[in-house]
Structure formats: structure tokens, C-alpha cells
Amino acid sequence: MDKILRVKMGEEGGPKTVVEALGEYAGLGGRAMTSTIVSKEVPPLCHPLGEDNKLVIAPGMLSGSVAAMSGRISVGCKSPLTGGIKEANSGGQPSQVLARLGYAAIVIEGQPADDNLYKILINKDGVEITTDNSLKMLGNYAVIDKVKEAYGDKVCAISIGPAGEMKMSAASIAFTDMEQRPTRHAGRGGVGAVMGSKGVKLIVLDDEGMSKRQPADPDKFREANKAWVQGLKKHPVTGEGLPAYGTNVLTNVVNEAGGYPTNNFSTGQFDGASKLSGETQAELETSRGGLATHGCHKGCVIQCSGIFNDKDGNFLTKQPEYETIWAHGGNCGIDDLDTVAQLDRMDDDFGLDTIEMGVAIGVAMEAGLAKFGDAQAAINLLKEVGEGTPLGRILGNGAAVTGQVFGVERVPVVKKQSMPAYDPRAVQGIGVTYATTTMGADHTAGYSVTANLLGVGGNVDGTKPEGQVELSKNLQIATAAIDSTGMCLFIAFAILDQPETFQALLDIISGFSGQPLTADDVSNLGMAVLKAERDFNARAGFTAKDDRLPEYFKKEPLAPHNVTFQVSDEDLDKVFDF
């Protein structure tokens, strides 16, 4: 990956492309690339949907190689949801393909003067931008049907649905999976709205004629990759739990621990959790001819994805993730997997973040627009979003807007982004992450659930404040580095518990780059990314007061533990003391 593709949408005479050398961005990938470009090039006070914002799409450092688990891609911009910097991460095929085409980043800049929609084709011969208004307001599945008709079944694609075109703050960007379906999403922060504001509906990637990226030290890389795969397979989470039941293996675990937010974060356990569990889901998928074990991109050895068929045995959606099942399930008092799967399919088609939409619907239920547990009402509310009705536009702009419009106090957001599937009163380390991450409430930014609930990388009691700041800080640093490599975040389970597997990862990176790498180098990379993000947010107007949870988490005890969030503001302000 030796070049950056700049797509200039606002040029006189129509969009134009420029291919540049990496320059000061040499050596960066994934989140390090997106956050560095956004921090350096985007005016922090610009309107997120205006011409001065930029959308950056970057494969990881190792993407396009044969390194196992290296197919994640990062999307960066100023977020229309939070008003701060955003990196949203996705699986699927595009990261590997874009890297093999030689691009370390696509930077989409400016805005077209007209209201046309554009598609971009990138292949070994270069880049082609064309107008295609036949795509207007199509769902992602219909868009990909057109892609297959025009380009065949070997290409992959990046697209937005109607929500992105309508510039909703919950809009996602879809990335096609190995079956050429738009099931993998850079979901959080409204990145799809930014793509829509640029007039770009679709990016088609075709790496025919291109070879895999080759390591600088083939022998070292090969041996390290072998040890890496062995380490992932022998860990109980990455080698057993996730492959058997997917991410939804967590439902019973978190519910039993009393940290499963139910009915808009009003209690920590859901009576219907067993009906939504990974064990139940895997059995249902298998019985209908679907798959409980599946990879979202080539090179995945954890295989935590799956295929969910409907009652007639026809494909409905990918295996809904734990967060999706919680957001549309327990958070809304719904205990039916078929309903959740239908909502997941609708989110993917409309191009919406499943977490943001599930939480927004939960807030709407608290406001009295529907009753908790009313599955059909949830479906009807989501249909409103896809249709762009006035109510749909309220919901499609997220939980914070929904709560403000309907006068709801109990809105579980930080920096206007919805909290995911762990209540911060019972899992206080994740509460620290929610409060302080640059991204708004985001579990993936520093997954403290590892030590708070799973006993991975140590044990820190999730119901008490002690040790949570240090835990979250270290995980936020590590995560920023992992997000830069293109590696799936689930590798963290193995590298936290197995020093030899962490060393294998270091050897993969150094074998690929030809440069020696130490654990300190990884930490320094993570800290550099976080500093760039914090600097952007500070210039955008964020202060320490934005690194806080909503007050009710400090006041309302959560059953069954009857605890409140107890980490002090003074301690929260120490997270980034490095």
C-alpha cells in the first residue's frame, strides 16, 4: 500500500481523482491512518455534513496479506452524531481488496454542486467515477444486486442505504461479506451520513490481476503466522466460545452477571435472555439450514459470524451480533430471535447502526410511543426510519435526539452516542470507557468486559470502582493499536492471556514490515492515535465535562446488584494521563 486516493467531489466540471504518495502518512494503517488524516486535515469546527469534512476509508497495516484475522477496515470523519472525531470499524472483503489494489486510504473530499448520486469503480487500471441516479434511495441489498449484474460475483462493494442519503446521524456504511452480501457495517457515529453528504452511493472494488501483499521477511512472517493461528485456536474464547456460538455467546454470561441492560437500562437482567442466547440462536440457525460458524472475510480463523435463515429456510440476514440482539431484543423487552433478525435485516438494508437504532427505539418506548416487548411496534418504528417520515427522521438521528424530542430524561448516551450492551453500573470498567473514549459511548474502544466479567487478562470486580481507570486506559491504548493493524478486536482475548501469542503478533508485524517491533512500540502507536483524536476533540470544543456518564447512572441503583456507577469524576480525568 504505497498511495492515497483522493476523490474530490466538488471540482468544477464534476468529481475528479488524484493519486498521491503516502508522504507524512507512510507506515500508517486503519485507525491510525483515518484519525491522523482527520485530525490534520479536517477543520474541527466544520459542519460534519459540509464540504470541509472528509471521509477516510483505510485498510489495516496487514490487510491484503495472508496474516490471519487481518481483514478489518476503518472509516474516519468528523461525526454528525457526536460532533467529534470518529473511527468506525468493519469486517467484510473490502479491506483485503483495497489493500491489494495498493491504496492505504481513500479520502473523499468536498461536495458536488448538483444532487446527482455517484459510484466509484477502483481496479488495477485505475479509478472511474460515474453518475448513477438509478441507485437513489435503494436499499443496500438492491444496490448489491445491481453490482452483481454489472460487475459479476468476484468484486466487493462499499455502499450506503436510504439512511445515508437522508443524512441521518445513525446511518452506517455497508461492506460486502464473502457471499457478496451487504452485511458488514461501519456502524457507529453516522459515517453513512457523511458518505451521503459527499454524493457517493457506491464504491466497487475489483482486485482481479492483483496479488497478495508480500512480507519483507517471508520466513519470519510465515512462522509467526503459524504460531499466531495456533494461539488463537487454543484460547477458550477465540478457539471455542466464539466459533461455536458467535458473539452472542455473551447473552447468558452478561445476563447472569446482572449487567444486561433491559427495558432502556432500567434493570440488569432480562427474563427472556435464554430465548435470545447464542446457544439458542446456533441451534435455530442449524435447524433451518443456516450456519452457526462462519467468517466475515477471508483469512478469519475465529469464525464468529453465521447465516440466519427464516422459518422457510431462506436467507434472511447474517447471524445477528450480540450487540444487535441486545439492542433490538432485551433493551426493548423483546425475546424473539426472528423479530431481531428481521430488524437486523432492515437495519442493514436501510444502512443503520443496529446499536443506535435499538437504543433509540428503547427510548421511544420509554416515551410511550410503544410498549416494551411489542415486537410489531418495533418493526413499525424502524419502517418509519426507512421511509424517512418525520418520526422516522427523529429516530434515525439517534437516541439523544429521540430523547430530546420526546422529553425523556433517561437516555443512555455519551457525547450523544448510544451505550452498547453492558450496563456501566454492573460493569464499571466499561463505564469508564463509555465516558472517556474519544468516540462517544463505545464498548470496542476499551473492552473492559474482559477483566470485569470474563476473567481474561486478570480479574477486576465490575461492581466496584477500584482498578477500573487503569484497566480502561490500558485497553484503550491497546485497542487503538489493534484497530490500526487491520486485526479483528477479538484477538485481544488471546493476546491478553497468552504472552506467546502476543509475541507472535509482534513477529507477524515485524516480519511483514521488515522492522523490529516491541510491545512498547505497540503502546506508543496506540497512545499516538489517542492523542491525535483527543487533540481534534479539544479543538472541536470538547472538555472534561463531556467525559461523563448521564447523571442517572450515579443515582439509580441497578438490580440485581443495586449498585450505581461509582468511579469519580476526578478519576475519570486521569484516564489520559500518559
**Span 261-418 CATH architecture:** Orthogonal Bundle (1.10)
425-443 mean pLDDT: 98
Whether the pLDDT of residue 537 is over 90: the answer is yes
DSSP calls for 67-101: -TT---EEEEEE-TTTSSEEEEEE-SSHHHHHHHT
Residue 132 has pLDDT above 90, yes or no: yes
CA distance 256 to 250: 10
Tell me which fold the domain 3-205 belongs to. Aldehyde Ferredoxin Oxidoreductase;  A, domain 1 (3.60.9)
Residue type, 137: M
Across the range 162-169, mean pLDDT stands at: 98
* pLDDT tens per residue across span 366-396: 999 999 999 999 999 999 999 999 999 999 9
How much is the pLDDT for 293?
A: 85
Q: How far is CA 327 from CA 80, 298, 573, in A?
A: 21, 28, 29
CA separation for the pair 97, 211 (Å, rounded): 10
- What is the Cα–Cα distance from 418 to 327, expressed in whole angstroms? 10
Task: Please give the backbone phi and psi of residue 174, each rounded to the nearest 5 degrees, phi first.
Answer: -90, 140
Sorted by sequence, the CB contacts under 8 Å of residue 152 that are 6+ apart come out as: none
Mean pLDDT for 187-210 is: 98
Strand order in the sheet with 173-175: 126-131, 118-123, 200-205, 156-159, 173-175, 184-186
The confidence score (pLDDT) of residue 545 equals 97
pLDDT in tens, 281-301: 999 999 999 988 888 888 899
User: Which pLDDT value is given to residue 12?
Assistant: 92
What topology is assigned to 215-245+424-578 in CATH? 1.10.599
Three cell numbers written together for 163: 439512511
Question: What is the per-residue pLDDT across 328-368, written as a single tens digit (0 to 9) for each?
Answer: 999 999 999 999 999 999 999 999 999 999 999 999 999 99
Domain ranges in the chain are 3-205, 215-245+424-578, 261-418
pLDDT given for residue 270 in this prediction: 98
Is a pLDDT exceeding 90 seen at residue 578?
no
Residue 450 carries which side chain, given as an amino acid letter?
T
Over pLDDT 70: what percentage of the chain?
100
